[in-house]
Structure 1
Amino acid sequence: MTCALKGHEDFPSPSVCIENQYCKQVIYSHARICALKGSSVSFHSSYSPYYSSNSVTSFWFSPGRSAQWRNPSLPEDLQHDSRYMDRVYVTQTRQKFTLTINNLVENDSAEYRFIFKTGLFSWGSDLHGTTLTVTDLQVEVTRTSTNQEPEYAELKCHSRCTPSGYPYYRWFRNGQDIRHNKSTYEVLINTTDKISCSVSSFKDHRAPDVYAPVSTSVSVDPSDDIVEGKPVFLKCSSDANPPANYTWYKKTKTSALQPHRKDSEFYLNPIQASDSGEYFCVAKNQLGESRSGNLDIDVKYSPKRADVSLSHAEIVEGDSVNLTCSSDGNPAPFYRWYKDNQMMLQGQGGVYQFTSVKSEDSGTYCCEVGNICGRINSSTVLINVEYSPRLPSVSVSPAGDVAAGSSVNLTCSSDANPAATYTWYTEHSTSPAANGQTFTIVDIRGEHGGNYYCQARNSRGHHNSTLHLIVVSSSVSSAVVGSIMFLLLIGLVLSAFIIFRKKKAVRQIRQTREGPGDNEAKILGNLSRHLESSSTAGLGNSAAQDDVCYASVLFSKNQEEPLYSNFVPAEPKTSKNKEEDVEYSAVMIKNTPCKKSYDASEESSELYSTVCKVNRL
């Protein structure tokens, strides 16, 4: 029979046999035993009553290894367990069975039981056996004097359990035995020292060294390009015992960052462009601290803004002008320039330069910036190139010579920015004749004739047009035209009068002559008919030849004045009664059309005619 405290059933009391009862039992030498890591441990059991029969089967097993058994309800010999192979030995002396485990490891911490079987019963598998605890020595920093100089630390050599039979300790500084045998040790803090301890009998089984943090470093995940919006982990690691605590800093130590979840990691999710910078961490324990190197976090992001600016507001033709596009992308963005939505050449560093700006450079400009993460367009900016007026042009309506009394419009045009104002001048006059783009002259007179020009002016300069001549048709010209028409009318009247007189003369000749007079009358009749047809032809063409005049001319034989003419003499006929003092001729005079102006050197008295000489019958 055995007993245990409630809640501590794993640690029962030794079993006892009730008085006057026959008991079969297994007795263990230790209920619990503590052993150092790397050492060896032995514990034994015995059973009663003693059976010497060869039918007895006995072995050690560990219930914690039941998962490795072929049948979890059937214990298996520990010597056949692969984890204990070549480290477990069992010895027997009559009823005493001793289990020895060498080179202990922490996983050997477990409960171990002994079982024996006969042909009649099995005993020990359900009873608690010996619980083994494998421990490693630890150096604990129990106290530090951080408020005084120099700083001291109190160290204690201890373990999870106290191995029996080890009353003394040994201390080591940087591997050297300092010959201190107490479980505690006060030491001057030196961040380069490493201190350890052991029990006196096992100086080779030392506790792990304690020391201040060393080899502190930082790392980042992902290790390649860090893009805005993605999660990023910063990790700080160091070699320290006791384990270090970590604090993260960005650029300066005054801006501490709170660690996220684990004290060795700093979590940025999602990372922003503003998170770019240099990071480092500080690892610290009771024996000192260590600072890592700087970790440069360069967050890649697409351009968030694109601003275009002009080097100056007012732009005059010929100025040097710079268009500047600024952006904040990472990596540094490229730049493309557009004018009126048409792509231009790329600028250097976001600057597009006009060495000497021209009027045709006026327009709406914008830039496009981009990098591997994205691109964006800027707002537009207007370039308005101002320039002085170009050479003005003048148009006249109506075109050509202007008749007196009519009106004329003179219009001046010039390319200018800002728009030009116009002033009209006459040649050799400094006083303006009119203002405005159009100059209208109403009821034009002769004094309005002459050269005119306009002046286009704006804030950037002025320019004069070329001279433009206005010719006014005067009243003298109209009188000349009227006189010509009057003379034509007089010519027609004279022609009719002459024809009438000739007819009358022919009738008188017929009346005064006989015989030969008949022939003469015939000739005169023919002449009369010829003159009539000529006069009729002249009247019919008067519209086309206003200056043509027809006449009958009577030549006297005794005429001594020279006459320039082209004539064709008629065939002479003999007659007994010749009358040489009278000749009848038909003369046709063709004048050239009247002109508005003629050469004074021309002889107006010259007449070109055809003379037909009629011989007397």
Structure 2
Amino acid sequence: MSTRSGNITAAVILILLTGVQAQHSVTLSSQSLCAVTGSAVKISCKYTTANSSRVREREWYQLQSSDGEERVLSKDPQYSARVSVRTEQNDCDLTVWDVRLRDSGVYNFRFRTSSSDWISASSGVNLTVTELQVDVDRETAGQRKVKLTCSSTCSFGNNLFYYWFRNGQYTASHEASVVLDSTHSSDEGSYSCRVSDSWHRSPAVCISANSNQKSCWSVTYSPKAICALIGSSVDIRSYYTFPDNQVTKSVWFIKEQAGAEPVDVREDEEYQGRVQYGQSFQNDCSMRITHLRERDAQTYRFRFYTDGGEYTGEPGVTLSVTDLKVTVSDTDSGGKKLSCNSTCTLPNYHTYIWYKNGQPVSDQSLNSTGLYLYVSAVGADRYSCAVAYEKLRSPAVYSPRNTSVVIIPSGEKVEGDSVTLSCISDANPPVLIYSWFNQRAAADAPLTTGQNYTITNISSQHSGLYYCTAHNQLGQQSSTPTRLNVLLADYTAVKYAAFGVTVVLLLIFITICLCMRRRAAASSSRSEEDSRNVTFTEYASVPVYDQVSDLAMTSDPTKTAASDDRDEVQYSSIQFTRSHAQEVPLYSTVHRSGALKQEEEVEYSTVKLSKPRAVQ
């Protein structure tokens, strides 16, 4: 019984899921497309959801026939800036610009909702990319009259126009075939063609009576001027023609010195690891530069070498590198129109994405026509734009914020001074108008306009609260009121006088302290000097005599010389020691008053007379 009920429940769930799945669908307009290199391909697409279920995720992907691997276009750098998807209502049209040979494959669209897994078309669209070529009619080959035909493996409709180029310059013919006179100088040269929905030209064919003539050498740049975003990648292309020779080398370069070969861009330190050469078809040499910088804005030229000579294409391709910027304008309804702009014209196949406070603007609230975004009011929100797949976002625009008042100079203000009030605000676009007000109890009084408000010869009546208001195209903001205090002149004079007296008294006190300190230091220095003049070493129980006659001695130890014969006598290290043996006392021209005890011995050393006298 339980097994039967379980089977019934599973069957009911399966039926419900099948019903939901059946209501989800993707419809593609065709099963196969053919395009020539450089053209734009559009794949029409519609999808439906069950019960208006909310779509969580959607994407286009390519299934390579060679390896069977899926490549999500929005995540593949090979499709960077070349893919756009229509997102209005249930549309999912895919447009691929500037298709290349490697773009060939099967393309499909899928989405999933909160209640379903991925839903896709039963089979995708098989895209085949081919090249144009110029065919020489075999019946006219080698003849005076030569017929050339622009063709490809794709079958073109009757609504296409053909464009012929001689030596890189456009000629007037719009037909698929042209007839030329190979012997006429006006018809000699290299010929290539393109169709109206592609910028790529076919490889050139040389028409000349002498295949080595210079008229068959050429380099054509398409386009000659390119605008790209900082941080993005850019492809610079050249088409070259030459007589029947073998190409041995080709280079892109910026600088060329007289008498020296040009430096390959790939070998320049500024471009290390950022330059790649590619060849989409015969006689094509494209160069890709990644992670563009402002200093990459240069003129690039192409040179190729053959076993019959070399040729440089002039004047080259001019590359401009820019960033995105949002500009603001008013609408008739009172709202704001935001435009995503750049300093140069970007290719028209770019898809623009708008952001509000750092988050992509949802489809429900988006009222945009690519370059523009319409909003009723900005308020405190921040808006920016970016180019799809490049992830390069413009600086955000917003109304004024962090508005404040700064008083210059700072500190107390006294009657008669001058003061400047400066209004500071962060805004993008920049502030257009600054307005000043004096806050009062009854009503705020408007003062003036301008970022700075200066008051000369201020008085106490100027004391009060001041604030400013900053206005830009998106809104306005007022600062917090700032108080200006103006002091009376009399009060300031008394305050400065009191301060001056205090400073004088402090200086007198410091001077007295310094004098007392110097006297104490001088007294201490003299005491130390006196104590170093004579040093006595005292042993235990040894009498010390601290008075020694400094009179000059005669030959008789008991007599002294006259006062006028007195010389300077210096003594040092006088030491008395006790001796147990009875010895005769030793005297050295020194008189010691009083008798010496027998047990004492007196020893003198280093006695110097400045002027020794002869014995009389």
Structure with more contact order per residue of length (Cα contacts < 8 Å, sep ≥ 6): 2
TM-score bracket for this pair, using the shorter chain length: 0.3 to 0.5
TM-score (norm 2): 0.38
TM-score (norm 1): 0.38
Larger Rg belongs to: 1
